[in-house]
Amino acid sequence: MSIAHDILPECFVDTNIVNTFLTMEGIYVDANHCHGCNKVGSMMQKLKDEFALGVIDNDKKQHSYNSQFYSLGKTEHLELLKHSSKHHYLIRVSPAMDGFILEVAERQKIDMSDYDLPDKLKDFTEITKDAKAKDSKNLKRLFKDMAGDDEMKILKKILGYIYKNKYDCDEKVVSSFL
């Protein structure tokens, strides 16, 4: 798989879910893992007029570049943002990807132990913050099994649509997913 320098998830678990969902959408690339929200913002700025898609947590401290984005819509845990003049998009996860995943598991009645994963946020975060989470087969299996959840379907559709239509995204179409 080639590295997609224009797909910028901030955490190891974000990178895994992005890669898993893009593969499910028929897109075989490896997202360019960035370490933290600030790195995503900096990398997007370096891409200037090129396409970029970042995946970030809704941290209290956001990169100053994020203030140049406006919302295309949101769900309980996901918000899609578009840069005011560039082909740059952000998917902001609230409160953070770890908690979102655990909430989906709970509402889908998924037993995390079936994936050798803990169901407590503190323990789960220890695993997802580790570099091994980027390629964890247990997490990939979990994400595939979660793909039927309404918000996970939305995340998968947004990732697929935006990547396939990098410079030709129709804001009305992508907003309709939310």
Cα–Cα distance, 54 to 90 (Å, whole number) = 5
pLDDT (0 to 100) of residue 29: 87
Residues contacting 165, CB < 8 A, separation 6+: none
Band the pLDDT of 1: cuts 50, 70, 90. Answer: low
pLDDT (0 to 100) of residue 71: 95
pLDDT tens digits along 151-168: 999 999 999 999 999 999
Tell which residue, 107, 169, 145, has the closest CA to residue 21.
145
Q: Which amino acid is at 125?
A: T
pLDDT tens digits along 127-152: 999 999 999 999 999 999 999 999 99
What are the CB-based long-range contacts (under 8 Å, 24+) for 117-120? 117/142
Residues contacting 170, CB < 8 A, separation 6+: none
